[in-house]
Amino acid sequence: MLLSPYVTKHTLVPQCQIATQPGVQGRDLLSLLAQVERWAERTSTPLYILQRDQKKGFDMLEPQGFYDAIIAYNLPTSIIDLDKSSQENVPYHVKTAYGFTDPFMVNGVTKQGGSLSPLKCTLTTSLVNHWLTDLQNGRDGELVITSTNHILGRPHTPSDDICLHVSMLEAMDDSLLLYSTMPLMIEMARCADRFQATYGWETEWRKSALYAYRSPEFPPDRPHDSTVSIPSMTPSGMMSL
């Protein structure tokens, strides 16, 4: 399957999505987060990180998201036809306490543990990553990581010209939203929920967490509430808190 190398070569998936990136491992994400925290300390920047957990695994993502990504990236639509054909009239057995049931046919369901499931998930969620990047561009609270020399207007090396715009870091079922203000964090979290609800995903808020660093809203020397209300969307399109 040449889709994965093509996606990597043309950077269709943002580099901050470590899932399916060749040679990238979980420890690289931890290293990046540690460096972002250190940068926030050095530049006295408030940092809010929202860790969002999904109720369903990536195998349960509706295939329409993958098809929309194929069209958005102008990839051959024959990929959609091939994927649909692999999901038509798939025989399923259900294991019960009395053994397996007789086979029955299922259509339009991503195979559990399929080799392409991670890539299909990553391509789908790359759309929301690009969308959030567009929405937050130039907004108060957008996290733009640069060197101190760049901020001071005194570049010394080529790396001082680099600006990293961070919106979402993703590692399969979990994702991180990073911002420097709470209002933008809440707005982008709701937008991310609206996107994923389109394809049947819901955020498991009880397993999610908000981390605040150098925050004026949550100073370490003052007691504060342990929960934050964030409006979210359900697959039915209803808003919940």
Torsion on CA atoms 39, 229, 19, 191, rounded to nearest 10: -100
Q: How confident is the model at residue 241 (pLDDT cuts 50, 70, 90)?
A: very low
52: pLDDT confidence band, cut at 50, 70 and 90? Answer: confident
pLDDT at 215 exceeding the cut of 50: yes
Per-residue confidence at 122, pLDDT binned at 50, 70, 90? confident
* pLDDT tens per residue, range 134-168: 999 989 999 988 888 888 888 888 888 888 888 88
Residues 192, 223: Cα–Cα separation, whole Å: 30
Position 82 in a domain: no
Tell whether 50 is covered by a domain: yes
Give the count of domains, the chain: 1
Task: Check residue 67 and give its pLDDT.
Answer: 92
In a domain, 79, yes or no: no
Residue 193 lies in a domain: yes
Mean pLDDT of the chain: 82
Per-residue pLDDT at 14: 82
Residue 170 lies in a domain: yes
Q: Do 214 and 182 contact (CB within 8 A), yes or no? A: no
pLDDT at 23: 77
More confident position, 191 or 206:
191
Distance of alpha carbon 211 from alpha carbon 153, whole angstroms: 31
In a domain, 37, yes or no: yes
Which helix (H) or strand (E) covers residue 85, if one does?
helix 78-86
Say if 100 falls within a structural domain. no
| Most confident stretch, 30-34, 85-89, 107-111 | 30-34
Domain housing 213: 3-74+110-240
Query: Is the model more confident about 218 or about 235?
Result: 218
Element (H, E) at 40: helix 26-43
Residue 60 phi, psi dihedral angles, 5° rounding: -90, 5
Three-class HEC string of 88-135: CCEEECCEECCEECCCEEECCCCCCCCCCHHHHHHHHHHHHHHHHHHH
Name the range with the highest mean pLDDT among 36-50, 87-101, 219-233: 36-50
The whole-angstrom separation of Cα 135 and Cα 195 is 13
Task: Give domain status of residue 8, yes or no.
Answer: yes
Give the global pTM: 0.80
CA dist 48 and 171 (Å) reads: 18
